[in-house]
C-alpha cells in the first residue's frame, strides 16, 4: 500500500485532496473510532461534478446558485471523506476529529454516532448507480481505515438514522464492498 494512502499522524490521508472544513470538534475523551458510516450526496440533487458539496462542507454554499441551496446554505455539516464519481478522494476533517455527518443517530444502542465514527460520502443519489471507480476507491479507503482503527462495523446513513435518511440508497451495492462487514 502506498504511503500516501495511509492515515498520517495528523489524521489526514496524503493521497486525498485536502479541503479543511470548519465543521468539526474534538471527539469525547477516550472515544475510539469503531464505525464507518457510508453516505451519498449530490449538489444540486441528482447532479454530479460541481463544487456544491465542498462548498456545503466549508460553509461557502451560495444560496443564489440553485433553489435547493436556499434551504441548506446555513447548515453546518461535514464529513471526513468524499469519493467523487471518478474515484477521486477528498478529505474535509482529520480522522482524529469528530466530523458532523451523522446528525441524530444511533447504532446498536449507542447514540451520537459522530462521536465514534468516520463519515464517507459518495457522490451519488438514490436513483443512480454508483461508479466502478467509486467502489474501487471505497474499498481501498476502507482497507486503510480498518488497518488504522479498530473498526467493528460499516453502516449506511439510513441504518443509523432510518427515520430521517435513505442514503447511500437502493442503488448502493453492499456486496461490492470489501472487506465486508455486517451492517
Q: What is the DSSP string of 35-64?
A: EEEEEEE-SSTT--SSSHHHHHHTT---TT
Mean pLDDT of all residues in 128-157: 96
Mean pLDDT of all residues in 4-24: 97
Q: What is the number of other CB atoms lying within 10 angstroms of the CB of residue 5?
A: 17
- 181, part of any domain: no
Residue 179 has pLDDT above 70, yes or no: no
Model confidence over 25-48: pLDDT tens digits?
999 999 999 999 999 999 999 999
Cell numbers found for residue 61: 454554499
Distance CA 155, CA 22 (A): 25
- 182, part of any domain: no
Cell numbers found for residue 1: 500500500
Please give the residue range of the domain that contains residue 49. 3-176
Tell me, what's the pLDDT at 2?
A: 63
Cα–chain center distance at 79: 5
Radius of gyration of the chain (CA): 15
- 183, part of any domain: no
Residue 54 has pLDDT above 60, yes or no: yes
Residue 112 phi/psi, 5° resolution?
A: 60, 65
> Exposed, middle or buried: residue 141 (CB in 10 Å: 0-12, 13-18, 19+)?
buried
- 79, part of any domain: yes
Model confidence over 94-115: pLDDT tens digits?
999 999 999 999 999 999 999 9
Residue 96: beta bridge partners?
Answer: none
Average pLDDT, the chain: 95
Choose the catalytic residue: 17, 121, 127, 131: 121
Mean pLDDT of all residues in 67-87: 97
Domain count, the chain: 1
Residue 183 has pLDDT above 50, yes or no: no
Residue 121 appears among annotated catalytic residues? yes
Distance CA 170, CA 155 (A): 14
Confidence grade of residue 178 (pLDDT, cut at 50, 70, 90): confident
CATH number at residue 91: 3.40.80.10
Angle at 29 between CA 143 and CA 5, to 5 degrees: 20
| Under 8 Å between Cβ of 98 and 24 | yes
Residue 121 has pLDDT above 60, yes or no: yes
Cell numbers found for residue 99: 466530523
| Under 8 Å between Cβ of 36 and 157 | no
Amino acid at each position: 500500500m502506498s504511503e500516501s494512502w495511509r492515515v498520517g499522524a495528523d489524521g489526514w490521508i496524503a493521497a486525498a485532496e485536502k479541503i479543511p472544513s470548519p465543521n468539526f470538534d474534538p471527539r469525547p475523551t477516550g472515544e475510539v473510532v469503531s464505525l464507518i458510516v457510508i453516505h451519498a450526496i449530490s449538489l444540486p440533487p441528482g447532479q454530479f461534478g460541481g463544487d456544491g458539496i465542498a462548498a456545503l462542507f466549508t460553509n461557502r454554499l451560495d444560496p443564489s446558485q440553485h433553489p435547493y441551496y436556499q434551504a441548506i446554505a446555513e447548515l453546518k455539516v461535514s464529513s471526513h471523506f468524499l469519493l467523487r464519481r471518478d474515484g477521486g478522494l477528498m478529505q474535509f476533517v482529520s480522522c482524529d476529529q469528530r466530523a458532523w455527518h451523522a446528525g441524530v443517530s444511533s447504532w446498536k444502542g449507542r447514540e451520537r454516532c459522530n462521536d465514534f465514527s468516520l463519515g464517507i460520502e459518495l457522490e451519488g443519489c438514490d436513483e443512480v448507480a454508483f461508479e466502478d471507480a467509486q467502489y474501487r476507491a471505497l474499498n481501498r479507503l476502507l482497507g486503510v481505515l480498518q488497518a488504522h482503527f479498530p473498526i467493528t462495523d460499516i453502516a449506511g446513513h439510513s441504518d443509523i438514522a432510518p427515520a430521517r435518511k435513505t442514503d447511500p440508497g437502493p442503488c448502493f451495492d453492499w456486496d461490492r464492498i470489501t472487506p465486508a462487514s455486517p451492517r
